[in-house]
Amino acid sequence: MEIVIISVTAFLVAILTFFSGFGLGTILTPVFMIFFPVDLAIGLTGIVHFSNNVFKLLLVGRQADKQALIRFGIPAVIAAIVGSWLLLNITDLKPLFAYQMYGRTFEVFPVKFIISILLIIFATIDLIPYFNKLQFGKDKLPIGGALSGFFGGLSGNQGALRSAFLIKAGLSKEEFVATAVVASTFVDFTRLSVYATRFTKAGLTDNLTLVVCATLSAIVGVYIGNKLLKKVTLRFLQVTIAIMLIIISLALGAGLL
């Protein structure tokens, strides 16, 4: 059942992420968390995300803005190492608190609580009109890269911050999509290299079929998204994703997932 649910989610979300610049890792991570421990869920999502980005890289990568990529990408990669290391060192901590409801005991672990807060923040960014009016010059790209890379390594969710900075940096639509894809691919490769120290222990090799199915589903979604790029209203999709994220995040932070 998890293969069907995760593959369908990867397919649908991959369609959205081609033109939104974010969403696959943000939505797929909580879905993986329903079936797997947090660190393994983030690692599995990272593999699907990375494979998806490689395919997008082949489609649009040559249109990336080199200056923006250097200013944004280098800080993002460095910060991703820090975030990934932090993730691996907080997953074994004891629960922050526990409570009982309907005869069951629910435990809230630090990493789940942190990630739930991050997801709510990223979702809220899309719901508040103020953030849509912000303008970031290219001189602010290193800050955006560092924030995006760190949270990408820590929670797998880098896209919202990445898009918030890049889309305000004076890039064309094509340059924005391509630069976001290249930067995201670099961060994914970096964090997966760090996660690899835990993959065998966490049980990655036992879930290769799931990873392959989800990856292929995402690639098909990217192909369709490329065809639909000019036919979909982006704002409606962003709001829908944000609402879904808040619901999932509240359940995650409450220990229900």
Report whether 118 contacts 155 (CB < 8 A).
yes
Tokens of 22: 């974010």
d(CA 101, CA 119): 24
> Model confidence over 60-92: pLDDT tens digits?
888 888 998 999 999 999 999 998 888 777 766
More confident residue, 93 or 89: 89
Q: Confidence class of residue 238 from pLDDT cuts 50, 70 and 90?
A: low
Whether pLDDT at 45 is above 90: no
Q: Confidence class of residue 46 from pLDDT cuts 50, 70 and 90?
A: confident
Report whether 94 contacts 160 (CB < 8 A).
no
pTM for this model (two decimals): 0.67
> Model confidence over 175-234: pLDDT tens digits?
888 888 899 888 888 887 777 666 555 556 677 788 888 888 888 888 887 777 666 565
Whether pLDDT at 51 is above 90: no
In 156-207, where does DSSP find H-type helix? Answer: 159-166, 173-202
The mean of the pLDDT values for the chain is: 76
Tokens of 225: 């998204």
Q: With helix as H, strand as E and coil as C, how does 75-117 read? A: HHHHHHHHHHHHHHHHCCCCCCEEEEECCEEEEECHHHHHHHH
Report whether 220 contacts 11 (CB < 8 A).
yes
Query: So what's the pLDDT on residue 72?
Result: 93
For the beta carbon of residue 250, count every other beta carbon within 10 angstroms: 14
> Model confidence over 113-165: pLDDT tens digits?
776 777 677 667 666 766 666 556 677 789 889 988 888 888 766 776 787 77
Whether pLDDT at 99 is above 90: no
